[in-house]
Amino acid sequence: MPSDRIITYLPVLNAETMEEKQRILIVEDNKSLNEILCKIVQSEGYGSVSAATGKEAIEKIRDNGPFDLVLLDIMLPDPEAPPGLGIDGLEVCRQIKGDSALKDTLIFIVTVKDQPDDIMKGIDAGADDYITKPFNTTLLIAKIKAMLRIKRLQDELISKNKLLEEMAVTDGLTGIPNYRHLIDKLAEEIRRSRRYRTPFSMILLDLDNFKEVNDTYGHRHGDFVLKSVAGAIHQGLRETDLLARYGGDEFGVLLTQTDQTGSRKVAEQILTRLSDPVLADGREHMIAVSIGLVSFSPGQPESSDEVIIAADEALYQAKKLGGNQYFFLEKVLKKTNAE
């Protein structure tokens, strides 16, 4: 395993991606005006895609999206659609804003000057701004620039907030979830187990000889060992399982929908995987681990503390027996009523 192996759940903020060309969907049934609008936005450095009907607009959004902004004509007659079944600009607006994946798309409606009711209907349908025909090109460009500037700032804020949220539940050293995230997910799994009557298991493991690594090679090298161990453990887990750094040289593994038999197999796989040397910063280390294992039947237990205490007791027994093994705690908890 590479010495710099690190499991990461953090989104990567790529400066080049953040500065990529913003894209605008032009939805206008008048071919000449559609082409003019495309040239206008392209001259300002924006990317453009065009659509002539509401149906085509929805298809372009699904297939070529997402777009930063949709320049949307209210009136969108569709000669190929049966009478009364065409998709006008208002419906396009509603569908975009009604889709959780597209709701942040800015919509700029275009309507004729003598139809103010369309403006109100468009705003009610979710449009963010409007302009009337015939429009002033300078004003149109100014509005588009202002809206896309706001959109870029919003996107950057969302990305940064997401990064901060991830950092709050991620261990800074190993890149895997931290103790806080483990406890939150454990509480969720307890509720799920009680509701759907499914079993789950919890593993706590501790590196038996980690102090020797730190004493011999220093704490900096010990950090590389912890990263490599985390990678080795993670390789054999399912996507639905959760590996977290419990603290120090201890790790926790939450095994969802896993009974005693399944959890024992996972513990054995971890021991087998760590029986091979762990490569960390160019050095090989034989790492021994003690594993505490406990499984819970549907409807058990009542709290996260109950799970952690049981798993910790199992870990203590594994270390008491000499370490480098797992200990399954036979613990019967009182049954609770399903939620």
Catalytic machinery residues: 249
d(CA 174, CA 144): 44
Amino acid identity for residue 89 in this structure: G
Q: How do strand 129-133 and strand 106-112 relate by DSSP bridges?
A: parallel
d(CA 209, CA 196): 40
d(CA 296, CA 190): 9
Place of tokens 């065009």: 50
As a whole number of Å, the end-to-end CA separation of the chain is 44
d(CA 94, CA 103): 9
Give the C-alpha distances (Å, rounded to integers) separating 243 from 1, 125, 165, 205.
Answer: 18, 44, 18, 11
Q: How do strand 250-255 and strand 278-280 relate by DSSP bridges?
A: unpaired
Give the C-alpha distances (Å, rounded to integers) separating 111 from 123, 132, 134, 334.
Answer: 12, 5, 9, 67
Q: DSSP letter string over 166-220?
A: HHHTB-TTTSSB-HHHHHHHHHHHHHHHHHHT--EEEEEEEETTHHHHHHHH-HH
